Chains A and B, each alone.
Chain A
C-alpha cells in the first residue's frame, strides 16, 4: 500500500523523533515534506497519533494509572510545576512495567481518567491565570479603549502582520508624541524603529518578555525583540528570567540584563544606570565590562568615566505606579464626564439624551437621561448588544449585525438642531452607515450618517422629486482604518438662522456649508427614527436600505439649537476617554 517514498519518509521521521537523524537525513526529510502532499498527510497522521498517545499518557489515560492511588500527589506537583504539568503526571503516574501487571477495574479507570484529565486542565489554567494575572488587569483596563472586534477571517492576516513586530504597546498615559515620529495606540505592534514621546508614559512589552516603561520626553529606538537604544529620556525595564539577556544601549554603553529590574536615563551624553533588583552587566566600547548589583547606581559621563551615583528608584516610574496612573486617569476622566453629563441632562436645549450610563446589561430599554424625566423618549434596543463603553464602569451599545439598532420616537417641531455622539467605528461596510436616520425621511426630517468614503453626511429633507429633495452637506473624509476601534466624538449642527451646517470631529470643525435657499428647510422634526441603522423604508425609490453601523456608540445627544463651536469642543473635552 505504501509507496517507497512514504516508507523512506516514515523511517526518517522515526529517526528524527528519536533524535538520531543526521543533517543530511533531516534535509531529505524536509524535502520529502515539501514535495509531496501525500507525505504531508502521512506526517500529520503520524504526528496526530503521537499527540494522542502522548496526551493520553500524560493525562493518565492508560492502564498504568489504575489502582496506583497516586493521582493526588501527581496533581499537586502539577499545579506547582506549571508548564511542565504533563511530564509531572507522566513521571509519577506512568510506570509502564508495573502497569503491565495490572488488571484494571474498568469503571475505576474511567473515573480516574476523567478526574485526572480535569486536573491537568485545571492546572493548566491555574498556571495560565497566575501568569496572566497582570494581563487580566491590563485587559480590564484596556477593554474600554481597545476592543477591536475583527472577523475571524481577518484574524490570521492580522496576526501575520503582527508577527513582523518586535514589541507591543500595552499602555499609554497622557501621551503626546514627538511630531516627527509615528503615533501609536494601545495594542499596536512595534517594528524596528523609533518611539518618540513628547510627554506622558508608554509601556512597551518586548516579545522576548521584557517590559519597558518609557517616560517622556524620551526617544527609544527599537532594534530587535531583545535590544533597544535609549537616545534620550528615562526608562525602567523589568526583565523576568525568561527574557534574560535583554539589552538597553545608552550612549556608548550596553546594559545587559541578567534577570532584574533596572532604570536607565540618558541626558546630554551622560547615561545613568540604576539597578533596583538583580544585576546587570555594563559593557563599554573598549570592551571593559562591569557588574552592577541591586541597590547600586552608576553614572557614565560623556568622557567615558564611571562614577558611583545615588540610587533614586522613585525617579523611575514602575509598573505598579503606572497601573495607578492608568486607573487614576480613567477614573478622573470618567468622573469628569459624569459631572458634565449631570449638567447636560438639565440643559433645556436638550431634546433627547442617551447617556448610556448605569444601564443594566440585560435591559433592552435605552433610558433617556433628560431631566425632568420623560420615559416616552426612552429608546428600544433591537439586536444590538450592550458592551463596555469609553470606560470600564460605563456601558455603550454595539451595532454589528445588519439588524442591530436602537428605535426612538421623538415628537415635536424644531428649528435648529445639533447632533453629537461618541462612536467607535470598526469599519465602514455600507455605502451609508447610519448614525441617526428618521424612518420615512419626509419634509423637515434629518438624516445623519457616514459614507463609506469616511465622510460625515447630513441632510434635511425638503420633499419633492428624487435627487432634488434635500441638500446634503458632506465633510471631508475624516475616517480611515487607522481610526478603527477608537472612540471618536462626532457632532453636526444645523443652524436655521444662518442656514448653515457644520460638521465636527473630536471638537474640531471639519467643515461648514451654507444651504442654498431653494433647498433650505426652516422647520425640522424627527418622529420615529433609528440610531445605528435605518428601518427599511417603504418608499419605492429608497435604495441602500442596509445602513447598519459597524461599531459602538457611547452617548448620544440631540439639541434644539445649533451649538457654538466652543460648546462642541467642550462636549469633546469633557467626554474624552
Chain B
C-alpha cells in the first residue's frame, strides 16, 4: 500500500507556477527523497502535503486520506521537520516534547516513555531541562526530529533537515533517522539538495526541477537511465545543469567580495 500518493499536483502563486502538475507514489516503510535545487518546488510540495498550504489543483493522499478534506486525521498520521526551526526557544527540550505529545493526544505514560527513549537516542537526554534557545543548531535539529517521531507517525516529512549542519552531525542524524525508519517502519519523505545524501539514504529518488519531476527511481536506475556513473552526472544529464546552491559557502562569498573590490580599484 502507498503511504503517499500524489497526482497532477499544481501550485500557482499569481503567474508563477511553483509546482507544475507532479505525480508520484511513496511506498509504506520507504525512504523517498526529493532531490532538486533551491526553488524547485520541494518545500511547496511538502507544505501542501502537510496541510499548511492549499494546492491550486491536483490530488493528494496520505495514508489513504485526502489532507485537504480530512485535515486533522491526516495531521495525526504524519510528523514533520520544517526547513526552518519550529521549536519554542523559551521552553526546555522536555517541555517542547510534552507540548507536542499533548497536541497529538499521546497518552501521558506513553508520552513520558517515548520522550525519554527518543531524547536518549538523539543524545539530548542530559540537556532535557535546558531552554532550547541555548541549544546549538545541530541539537535543535536533533530535537525537532525526535519530536517528529514522538507521536509514532506513519509518515515523517523532513524538509532539508541537514541544511547548515557539519558533515559529522549530518551523518549522525541520518543514522538515527534510518534506525527509526527500520525499527518503527516509518515512511520517510525527505527533500535535499545534497546529492550524496539522497544517494546514501534514500531507497528511491525523484529529481525535481522548475516544479516538474524530471525522473524518478532508485539511485542505480537513475544512473542507468542516463548512462552515467554517479548521481551527480545523472542529475546533470537530466536537468541540464548542476545543482544551484544559493546558500554559497563562506569562501565563495569571500571570493565574490574580493572580486567586487578588485574591480573597483
Answer yes or no: do A and B interact. no
